[in-house]
Structure 1
Amino acid sequence: MYRRISHIKILLIFYLISSCSKAQDPVVFEGLIPLPKEQKVGKGHFLFSQNTSIKYHPDLKKTVAYFNKLVEKGIGKSLEIQTSKNSNFVSFEIDTTITNIEGYQLTISEKEVLIRSKDPKGSFYAIQTLRQLFPPCFENNSCNTPLQLPVISISDAPRFSYRGMHLDVGRHLFSVKDIKQYIEILSLLKFNTFHWHLTEDQGWRIEIKKYPKLTQVGAYRKETLVGHYNDQPHQFDGKKYGGFYTQEEVKEIVAFAQERNVTIIPEIEMPGHSKAAIAAYPELGCGDKNIEVATKWGVFEDVYCPTEKTFTFLQDVLDEVMELFPSEYIHIGGDETPKAQWKANEYCQNLIQKEGLKDEFGLQSYFIKRIEKYLNSKGRKIIGWDEILEGGLAPNAVVMSWRGTEGAISAVKEKHKAILTPSSHCYFDYYQSDRTDEPLAIGGYLPLEKVYSFEPIPDGISKEEATYIIGAQGNVWTEYMKTFDKVTYMAFPRAIALSEVVWSPTETKNYSDFINRLVPFQKRLDMLGIHYANHLYEINGDIDVTNQNVKYSLETFFKDKTIRYTLDGTDPVGTSLVYNQPILIEKNYTLKANVFQGKEPLGALFTQNFLIHKAIGAAVIMNTKPHPSYNAGGKEALINGINGSNNRYGDKEWLGFWGDDVEITIDLKQVSEIHAIKTRFYNANGQWIYAPKKVEVSFSQDNVSYSNGVSKELDVKFLEGSIVPIAIDNNIKCRFIKIKVKNYGVIPEGLQGAGNKAWTFIDEIIVE
């Protein structure tokens, strides 16, 4: 009777005969997110109505109560517990043969919905699967026909035990209702962890009764930065901003999350990102001065001073936090801690000597280990950002690896658990589209497909080491998210893609299949009132250069739609050229394209400029490879005739290097006369990206003997994305061009990323 579901949208037609023998509309089953481990579908349907009853194992009483509240919201009436007059049931059973505590089996026949699990957690996730089998109208009680469920059999369990989403409320604050709605969607997607970032330089957001100034003073800033951090000079709105969550509100949210099988892990930042706390209690800092809550974004030198008074304060704070949050883990931050004040402070220097520490990095390790020891004594464990590796890792700490995968690799090799959240794939404050009308974001470029392609198990570790990778997390930092609608726009659908990364087996991942399931899932978000980004009808372009023959391909996901385009810079209309094969680029063009249904455009306008120059089709040799997170176009992207985005350094055209000096050799394949070379570098210090200190260009006809060429010292304060011309006084005949790019070096104290190597991002090298 059953056949296995593999992929692509599955359309099942079930004909329903109601109690009055009237035929109903066909049932459409369009797939589940995240994709279950195994699913089979049969013929027929189960009629779900107010006459359906519930049978359950006593251990599942709370889960059944949650289900009944969900049903009451969906059909206006909760279901009765087993009664003899009814013939169809939703049954909840305990099955100890199921090995995974979060696993479940869901079987729907024409007579019964049967859920089996080892633990209430598994039955909860079965309910979330069952929820998606109802039509979207179930979400807001707007269905006007009997509810039908397909006959189906599902056996499911998650790939990772830690499946997290984060939200920063320090930069911008969101209501209790907003936080609950966020948690509700996370639970629907089978995330089991909400990382709540509660304290920041720009605001302390949780009531601590023993220290009332934390919310009286630390929860409010006098004004807020307007525009982007990289805009100069900085502008402010002049309006007081702030607020906090009372302990009663926190308890309410925690209870709400527990009912949805979501563990809330609170983050109390230390020793850095603590300016709001020090503004409230200046004696906690090393600066020996009164300071204000931060009004702009970035990293600040004001950090906790590791005195006994500070540790007493933090222990008191953590005591109240632990009373509110029953989570096994407490996140203590540990990232971006400038060391300038510690270096200048006599007490800190004496402490370094007293404890036999190597330097200020050792002092940070001492700080983290001391906090960890205290939390361990209370039966809790710590999570920290990967900077807690610096100076020595605390004995039982879990590392949250955000600066790539290197932190996770280091942690697991020391047999520490790690959570992957690299900015390249998991930072949902990055731009998600190339569209110029996208709302302001911090920078970068992280489209949906890249999130879906993420693999949490990094290369270079053994099978045993891989067991220490407990999962992954998406992060939502809110510097540029003033409203909750903006939060959900930035988080979804990227968090939806991540839910499948952390739940579903690797071998079932298929992006085309995922998109076909995402389209109907978005209807459910509509019913729930969730604002989300929809870039499904956008166009992607790809360039192919063979010798100096340049062709450009266009594609959109939905193959039944038409792409129309122009090459003269005008917007395409319903009568414009139809794209059906790669376009030959013979000169400088401005290509514009859109997706059409008939003669009506569906998506956003796609624009691509082409600049044909002498290096196109040349060979490129580099002394070092770009960082794998920023190498989408490969080395050929440097000479393909396309400039990268002015504000999205993660696209296919920018190549990123972390701390490396870069040497690029371009082989023109024949001796040519050139009179100008131009290139450009990204400069966004807030994202640790700096223009190089120096660029040198030299020339050769044999790749052996090079002229001295020209060099240019760069001012790192030039506007991001600006063209940096390399002037050549006279025409030069050469075959080989060598460009040496000197990395900026280590980021200075007091700036974001202080103490870390700077990034260099290089765009098109134009040879004229």
Structure 2
Amino acid sequence: MRFASCLLCLALCSLVQAAPVSLIPLPAQLQLADGRFKVDADTPIVIPSHDAASRQDALYLVDVLARTRGLHLKVTEDVRASHAIVFSRDPNAAVPQAEGYTLDVTPQGIRIAARDDAGLFYGAVTVWQLLTPNAQQGPVQVPALHISDWPRFAWRGLMLDSARHFQSVADVEKLLDQMAQHKLNVLHWHLTDDQGWRIEIKRYPELTSIGAWRTPPEAGHDGEPVRYGGFYTQDQIRDVVAYAAARHITVVPEIDMPGHAQAAVASYPQIGVTGKRPPVSVDWGVNPYLYNVDDATFQFVDNVLDEVMALFPSHYIHVGGDEAIKDQWKASPAVQAKMQALHLKDEDALQGWFIGRIGDYLAAHGRRLIGWDEILDGGVPADATVMSWRGTDGAIKATRLGHDVVMSPSPDLYLDGVQGDLADEAAGRIPVRDLASIYGFNPIPAALNAAQAAHVLGAQANAWTEHMPTMQHVEHAVFPRLDALSEVVWSPGSVRDWKGFLARLPAQLERYDDQHIAYADSAFAPSITVDIKKALKSASASVVLSDQAGYGAIHYTVDGSAPDLHAPLYGEPFTVKFPATIKAATFADDGRMLASARTRVLDRTSLLSRLGVELPNCPGSDFRLRVQPMPDAISMTPVYAVNVFDTCQQYPAAPLDGVIGIRADIVRLERNYALAHDEKLVVSRPHSTPYGEFVVHLDRCDGPTLANMPLPKPADNNRHVVLEASLPTQHGEHTLCLVFTAPIDGPLYAISLVSLKTRTP
């Protein structure tokens, strides 16, 4: 069997690379045949008579084809129609499981056959991709072929966080459309957290009148809204659930408990531990508020779940269970008395009891509990499903205990991780999670045996939105990495092929363009690098161009003009004299642009300057974020690099010959991070002026001080500050350690740009 699988892999990989089809995810089996079939406005779509589900699937194909290809097809039940696209229910369809389909294209027509509604729908999606091989409009020739296709995993998901930043119903439905086109079938909808409660609960109206709104830091200044929030009415949620169901997507709601509860406690303080009303949090991270463990609180939770279950027919209800720091429980005499009465050894066991009680309530209503892997820490109901996010250890532990699991590890499948390390990358977390790393993810940990692996339901990627205030940010983070995920969870592992995937991706990017999806081009963005030391000495530079994926043709110019296919094709490093403006763009084999042009100015001033996002952390802390100027900023730029634990960065290999001074363009940011027990890790440095200083050290962070520049008093009119200082004469290359000594109970500071100054020639 293993030898046969290898032959199948080789055959399919070579076939798809050579085939004029751009299908994502890659079908389980695909065979090309002779001939073609032309689809034009006169091509009918034939469905079984009196089959409402087939009609719905056919109308979906009609709609998406009209929007993307400009082809307007008609649906009919007339089986006499010829040269048609035929939808057929076939109990003998040659697919081994649910959601599968067969698809045949011959010179006489196209036929989709499936055993179930989902299979017909996914067959229709594949037909749509076959009919949109490029950005052209109108009739299209489809190659003859046979496809037998079915999913590798039952859970093929995406998590959307609507609690930190809120998306409109139209935004959510647009995302559901894209999920359907990628054959994903679970939207995990994160609806409550410390920063907002987004679901209307009629029995508790203050959850949305209070809990859905927060007062941002610096409200009303620099574009920060005076009040931020929003929520989904129950009618809107029903609409979203129905919209998803029509695309064979199940919406699984997440109602966080016992932690991440600050917005709920802000609405109804009596369900909290202290009885005091906090504000809805403006701080990202781990906040301290927990639900109480008394009967009144459980009655509140049960009542909420009743309304949630009435809105969401999903078998699973997600209850969170993550990052519940137990300080409030430890400090509460009433909670401690409850633990003793229950004979529980510690607060983790109390959380296990809490989750178990919720699990029993859900089970009594025919539902099943799913939660993040912390639910394992204190014991968990036997039928609970575990979503492994703290790496893969939770999945390994859960499967060994007999639990089903969904793989969703951080950072592997966290789409709030940045996609590249170029200076123009959007806001997000470090480390980089590039397109190749998502594509290379294996949902089955190597440590699992066959019986344990059978408990892996599938995988999902998570779009946490602390640093994604708008849908443009979400789309940039999700696409095209969602293409890679779709192939991970749908296609057989034996047929996945990175180079073949890249070859099929350009057509998909054009489909995004047609549907106005703000995808990222990070995988193909040209990097323009030079040897700065040599360039400064010779007033010329040897330029190296590359892109992250190693795919496509890079064309460039040296005079600042926009590169096109007529511009020089990069093949090997080339030399330019100063001054020069290099522009480079990446193109697919057929001439489609894969990445917009990137620019680098080459002159002495630019080579002596570094953007803050280009400066690495000082040794000792690898935590790093790329953030916007305000927590709720709606623009994609500017973006700044920060380390909330240690405000120290390095300018490595600084060429100090002839340097007489330094200029730093800095920005004051909000310190809106809840660090819980990690607060002790924040580095506090002594400062000699009221608001701290920007200090430059030589070689090491405890090395000689070269410059010490006082920071001004924080005020709305000086959020952006320019600091300048002279530097003592140095020779050769040195590391400059750049440190902010500002008090850690005040704002954060970030470097926008640092420039070394030389004598004017």
Normalised by the length of structure 1, the TM-score is 0.70
Distance 1:471-1:235 versus aligned 2 partners, 3 A rule: farther
Q: Deviations over 1:207-230 (max 9, x none)?
A: 111111111111111225789xxx
- Distance in 2 (CA, whole Å) between partners of 1:689 and 1:561 is 49
Distance 1:38-1:174 versus aligned 2 partners, 3 A rule: same
Question: Does residue 561 of the first structure (1) align with residue 535 of the second (2)?
Answer: no
- Distance in 1 (CA, whole Å) between partners of 2:498 and 2:674 is 32
Question: Does residue 500 of the first structure (1) align with residue 526 of the second (2)?
Answer: no
Distance 1:55-1:95 versus aligned 2 partners, 3 A rule: farther
Q: Deviations over 1:469-516 (max 9, x none)?
A: 111111111112222121111111111111111111112222221111
Distance 1:393-1:491 versus aligned 2 partners, 3 A rule: same
- Distance in 2 (CA, whole Å) between partners of 1:53 and 1:368 is 53
Equivalent residue letter for 1:36: P
Q: Which residue of structure 1 lines up, in the alignment, with residue 121 of structure 2? A: 124
Alignment of 1:517-528 (within 5 A): 517-528=504-515
Q: Which residue of structure 2 lines up, in the alignment, with residue 84 of structure 1? A: 80
Alignment of 1:240-319 (within 5 A): 240-319=227-306
Q: Deviations over 1:386-420 (max 9, x none)?
A: 11111112221111111111111110010101111
Query: Does the aligned pair in 1 maintain the 2:44–2:74 contact within 8 Å?
Result: no
Offset at residue 199 of structure 1 (A): 0.8
Alignment of 1:303-702 (within 5 A): 303-539=290-526, 555-556=546-547, 557=549, 561-562=553-554, 594=584, 603-605=597-599, 647=625
- Provide the secondary structure at the position in 2 that maps to 1:154: strand
Equivalent residue letter for 2:291: Y
Alignment of 1:11-160 (within 5 A): 29-57=20-48, 61-72=52-63, 74=66, 75-84=71-80, 86-96=82-92, 98-135=95-132, 143-144=137-138, 146-160=139-153
Equivalent residue letter for 1:76: H
- Distance in 2 (CA, whole Å) between partners of 1:521 and 1:35 is 12
- Distance in 1 (CA, whole Å) between partners of 2:126 and 2:474 is 25
Distance 1:504-1:239 versus aligned 2 partners, 3 A rule: same
- Provide the secondary structure at the position in 2 that maps to 1:516: helix
- Distance in 2 (CA, whole Å) between partners of 1:108 and 1:303 is 57
Equivalent residue letter for 2:457: I
Distance 1:155-1:715 versus aligned 2 partners, 3 A rule: farther
- Provide the secondary structure at the position in 1 that maps to 2:74: coil
Distance 1:11-1:684 versus aligned 2 partners, 3 A rule: farther
Normalised by the length of structure 2, the TM-score is 0.71
- Distance in 2 (CA, whole Å) between partners of 1:114 and 1:498 is 28
Query: Does the aligned pair in 2 maintain the 1:165–1:474 contact within 8 Å?
Result: yes
Distance 1:87-1:225 versus aligned 2 partners, 3 A rule: same
CA RMSD, 1 decimal: 4.3
Task: State, as a whole percentage, how many aligned pairs show the same letter.
Answer: 35
Any unmatched runs of 5+ in structure 1?
Answer: 13-28, 228-233, 544-550, 584-590, 609-636, 650-682, 695-712, 730-768
- Provide the secondary structure at the position in 1 that maps to 2:371: strand
Equivalent residue letter for 2:215: K
Any unmatched runs of 5+ in structure 2?
Answer: 1-9, 531-541, 575-580, 603-615, 628-670, 705-761
- Provide the secondary structure at the position in 1 that maps to 2:264: helix
Offset at residue 592 of structure 1 (A): 9.1
Query: Does the aligned pair in 1 maintain the 2:348–2:377 contact within 8 Å?
Result: yes
Query: Does the aligned pair in 2 maintain the 1:69–1:78 contact within 8 Å?
Result: no
Offset at residue 727 of structure 1 (A): 5.3
Q: Deviations over 1:689-744 (max 9, x none)?
A: 979979xxxxxxxxxxxxxxxxxx98699999998936589xxxxxxxxxxxxxxx
Offset at residue 538 of structure 1 (A): 2.7
Offset at residue 237 of structure 1 (A): 3.1
In structure 2, which of residues 686, 700, 720 is the aligned counterpart of residue 725 of structure 1?
700
Query: Does the aligned pair in 1 maintain the 2:316–2:370 contact within 8 Å?
Result: yes
Distance 1:602-1:307 versus aligned 2 partners, 3 A rule: closer
Q: Deviations over 1:306-341 (max 9, x none)?
A: 111111011111111111111010000001112111
Query: Does the aligned pair in 1 maintain the 2:219–2:227 contact within 8 Å?
Result: no
Question: Does residue 221 of the first structure (1) align with residue 217 of the second (2)?
Answer: no
- Provide the secondary structure at the position in 1 that maps to 2:431: strand
- Provide the secondary structure at the position in 1 that maps to 2:486: helix
Query: Does the aligned pair in 2 maintain the 1:330–1:380 contact within 8 Å?
Result: yes
Distance 1:291-1:647 versus aligned 2 partners, 3 A rule: closer
- Distance in 2 (CA, whole Å) between partners of 1:728 and 1:560 is 45
Query: Does the aligned pair in 2 maintain the 1:121–1:261 contact within 8 Å?
Result: yes
Q: Which residue of structure 2 lines up, in the alignment, with residue 6 of structure 1? A: 13
Query: Does the aligned pair in 1 maintain the 2:411–2:417 contact within 8 Å?
Result: no
Q: Which residue of structure 2 lines up, in the alignment, with residue 179 of structure 1? A: 172
Offset at residue 152 of structure 1 (A): 1.1
- Distance in 1 (CA, whole Å) between partners of 2:173 and 2:113 is 28
Offset at residue 688 of structure 1 (A): 9.4
- Distance in 1 (CA, whole Å) between partners of 2:54 and 2:693 is 56
Query: Does the aligned pair in 1 maintain the 2:527–2:545 contact within 8 Å?
Result: yes
Distance 1:152-1:425 versus aligned 2 partners, 3 A rule: same
Offset at residue 98 of structure 1 (A): 3.0
- Provide the secondary structure at the position in 2 that maps to 1:403: coil
Offset at residue 442 of structure 1 (A): 4.0
- Distance in 2 (CA, whole Å) between partners of 1:365 and 1:190 is 35
- Distance in 1 (CA, whole Å) between partners of 2:374 and 2:695 is 29
Equivalent residues, number: 606
- Distance in 2 (CA, whole Å) between partners of 1:719 and 1:43 is 73
Offset at residue 185 of structure 1 (A): 0.3
Distance 1:646-1:403 versus aligned 2 partners, 3 A rule: closer
